[in-house]
């Protein structure tokens, strides 16, 4: 009988897959108590019964609230934490049977732990990613150097290459550590919150880069993030851990449609809007106002009014108690509940005025 645990992935029941990928079967992740007081071998499972697949050529995003178990799962997938049960296959090979050297050629990891780069330059730090490929001396060949330069360029960090890594900002260091993982030329890359320290354009750029690397190079990329809206736009697949420690897997749209996204993240003041794929503040309007403004101003006006507890009239809410108009010269005309009209300039003056209504 064939040992299916060691066979590479090929076409799957629901579509063609590239060889490789990462698969879990009945995986349980968590911690074993180290304190003798809690009893030797006592286990604290965080997530159990995980049958997950991250396909080669796809960006898989791991989402979930704080403490849901994302880091625990990623640490288990890369072999840093022993599973409490079940199996993990990376590129068709059983993780438990793979030597650390063989694993290092297949799998690269960027975790959230602080890294002390000592006196290394950013280029040298990225160059550490080549270690699984260098020989006994650890000396980099021309091909190794080319891989390092490519990886620095790929994450937009070539300008940092000669800087001491210890002097980099959090966001700059994050880029260089991502370059180190890419320089490893792995089949599978696992990244724990790689965008946490990045500014908004850099978050988008790194997420899109990871998706493109997956597509163009056939990499299996699994990333945990709190950038929910970005992830739902860019990810090919999502693993979503909900508050009951259930993991939902599928395309972003599948999970939005099933209500899993709203179920995991909706809170007293926050509600997910499936139509726009974004979160909005959840607040009961204290009153409504009629609004007459051009289409490009309307969404901003609606947002500013909502912040002050006012809804736009005529959408099934309470009847209008005032009016906001636009005079075409960047001026808003407010007509209060008492019928008096006053012009205001800008949204700040608008919100301060309606706050008194
Ligand atoms: N070393 C540890 N020993 C025991 N329990 C731990 C350990 N590290 C984390 N935990 C617990 O495991 C659970 C999952 O934590 P984990 O760090 O995996 O969550 P997370 O989804 O990555 O959270 P966040 O979004 O806040 O980073 C939490 O209840 C946490 O307290």
| Region of residue 67 (phi > 0: left; psi between -120 and 50: alpha; otherwise: beta) | left
Nearest protein Cα to ligand 1, atom 27: 66
- How far apart (Å, rounded) are the C-alpha atoms in residues 324 and 333? 6
Percent of the chain that is helix, strand, coil (3-state, to 5) = 35, 25, 40
Whether the Cβ atoms of residue 291 and residue 298 lie closer than 8 Å to each other: yes
The reported pLDDT for the residue numbered 14 is: 40
User: For residue range 139-190, what is the model confidence (pLDDT) as tens digits?
Assistant: 888 889 999 999 999 888 999 999 999 999 888 888 899 999 999 999 999 9
Query: Which amino acids bring their CB within 6 angstroms of ligand 1?
Result: 31, 44, 46, 64, 66-72
Cβ neighbourhood burial of 356 (10 Å; 0-12, 13-18, 19+)? exposed
- Position 94 confidence tier, pLDDT thresholds 50, 70, 90: very high
Query: Which of 27, 38, 46, 244 should be mutated for ligand 1, with most atoms under 8 A from CB?
Result: 46
The reported pLDDT for the residue numbered 37 is: 62
Query: Which of 69, 76, 193 should be mutated for ligand 1, with most atoms under 8 A from CB?
Result: 69
What architecture (CATH level 2) is domain 56-76+97-273?
Answer: 3-Layer(aba) Sandwich (3.40)
User: For residue range 272-284, what is the model confidence (pLDDT) as tens digits?
Assistant: 888 777 877 767 7
pLDDT surpassing 50 at residue 8: no
- Position 15 confidence tier, pLDDT thresholds 50, 70, 90: very low
* 116 token code pair: 């002390």
User: For residue range 73-84, what is the model confidence (pLDDT) as tens digits?
Assistant: 999 999 999 999
Query: Which of 62, 71, 223, 225 should be mutated for ligand 1, with most atoms under 8 A from CB?
Result: 71
**CA 342 to ligand 1 centroid distance, Å:** 54
Chain centroid to CA 56: 18
**CA 70 to ligand 1 centroid distance, Å:** 8
pLDDT surpassing 90 at residue 241: yes
- Nearest alpha carbon to residue 334 among 286, 280, 282, 293: 293
* 190 token code pair: 């696992």
* CA-based torsion, 201, 269, 351, 285: positive or negative: positive
Q: How many CB atoms lie within 10 A of CB 97?
A: 11
- How far apart (Å, rounded) are the C-alpha atoms in residues 159 and 276? 37
The reported pLDDT for the residue numbered 122 is: 95
**CA 354 to ligand 1 centroid distance, Å:** 44
Nearest protein Cα to ligand 1, atom 2: 31
pTM of the shown model: 0.82
Average pLDDT over residues 252-273: 86
Nearest protein Cα to ligand 1, atom 3: 31
Backbone phi, then psi, for 100, in 5-degree steps? -55, -35
Cβ neighbourhood burial of 175 (10 Å; 0-12, 13-18, 19+)? buried
Alpha-carbon Rg for the chain in angstroms: 26
- How far apart (Å, rounded) are the C-alpha atoms in residues 301 and 280? 15
**CA 54 to ligand 1 centroid distance, Å:** 22
Q: Using a pLDDT cut of 70, give the percent of the chain over it.
A: 90
Average pLDDT over residues 117-122: 89
- How far apart (Å, rounded) are the C-alpha atoms in residues 42 and 103? 29
**CA 34 to ligand 1 centroid distance, Å:** 16
**CA 46 to ligand 1 centroid distance, Å:** 8
The reported pLDDT for the residue numbered 1 is: 33
Nearest protein Cα to ligand 1, atom 31: 67
Nearest protein Cα to ligand 1, atom 1: 31
Q: Which has more confidence, 200 or 315?
A: 200
Q: Which has more confidence, 38 or 303?
A: 303
Domain boundaries, the chain: 56-76+97-273, 287-354
pLDDT surpassing 60 at residue 191: yes
**CA 71 to ligand 1 centroid distance, Å:** 7
The reported pLDDT for the residue numbered 356 is: 83
Mean predicted lDDT score pLDDT of the chain: 86
User: For residue range 199-239, what is the model confidence (pLDDT) as tens digits?
Assistant: 888 888 889 989 998 998 899 999 999 999 899 999 999 99
Nearest protein Cα to ligand 1, atom 28: 67
pLDDT surpassing 70 at residue 316: no
* 93 token code pair: 């090979």
**CA 169 to ligand 1 centroid distance, Å:** 26
What residue spans of 165-266 are helical by DSSP H? 170-183, 200-217, 228-234, 252-258, 260-265
* 313 token code pair: 């009239």
- Position 193 confidence tier, pLDDT thresholds 50, 70, 90: very high
pLDDT surpassing 50 at residue 97: yes
């Amino acid at each position: 009988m064939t040992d299916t645990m060691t066979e590479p992935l090929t076409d799957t029941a629901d579509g063609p897959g590239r060889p490789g990928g990462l698969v879990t079967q009945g995986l349980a992740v968590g911690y074993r108590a180290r304190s003798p007081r809690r009893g030797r071998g006592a286990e604290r499972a965080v997530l159990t019964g995980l049958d997950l697949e991250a396909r080669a050529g796809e960006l898989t995003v791991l989402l979930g609230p704080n403490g849901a178990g994302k880091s625990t799962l990623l640490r288990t997938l890369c072999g840093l934490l022993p599973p409490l049960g079940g199996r993990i296959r990376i590129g068709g090979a059983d993780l438990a049977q793979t030597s650390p050297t063989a694993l290092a050629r297949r799998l690269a990891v960027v975790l959230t732990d602080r890294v002390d780069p000592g006196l290394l330059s950013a280029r040298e730090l990225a160059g550490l990613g080549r270690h699984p490929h260098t020989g006994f001396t650890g000396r980099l060949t021309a091909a190794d150097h080319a891989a390092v330069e490519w990886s620095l360029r790929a994450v937009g960090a070539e300008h940092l290459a000669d800087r001491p890594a210890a002097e980099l900002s959090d966001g700059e260091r994050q880029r260089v550590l991502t370059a180190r993982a890419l320089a490893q030329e792995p089949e599978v890359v696992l990244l724990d919150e790689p965008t946490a320290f990045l500014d908004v354009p850099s978050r988008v750029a790194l997420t899109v880069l990871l998706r493109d690397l997956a597509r163009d190079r056939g990499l299996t990329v699994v990333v945990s993030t709190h950038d929910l809206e970005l992830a739902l736009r860019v990810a090919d697949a999502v693993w979503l851990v909900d508050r009951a420690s259930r993991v939902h897997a599928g395309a972003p749209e599948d999970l939005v449609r099933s209500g899993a996204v709203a179920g995991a993240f909706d809170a007293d003041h926050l509600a997910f809007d499936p139509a726009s794929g974004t979160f909005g503040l959840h607040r009961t309007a204290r009153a409504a106002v009629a609004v007459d403004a051009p289409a490009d101003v309307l969404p901003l006006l609606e947002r500013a009014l909502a912040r002050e507890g006012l809804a736009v009239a005529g959408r099934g809410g309470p009847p209008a108690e005032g009016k906001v108009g636009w005079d075409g010269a960047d001026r808003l005309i407010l007509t209060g509940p008492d019928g008096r009209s006053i012009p205001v300039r800008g949204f700040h003056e608008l919100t301060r005025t309606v706050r008194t209504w």
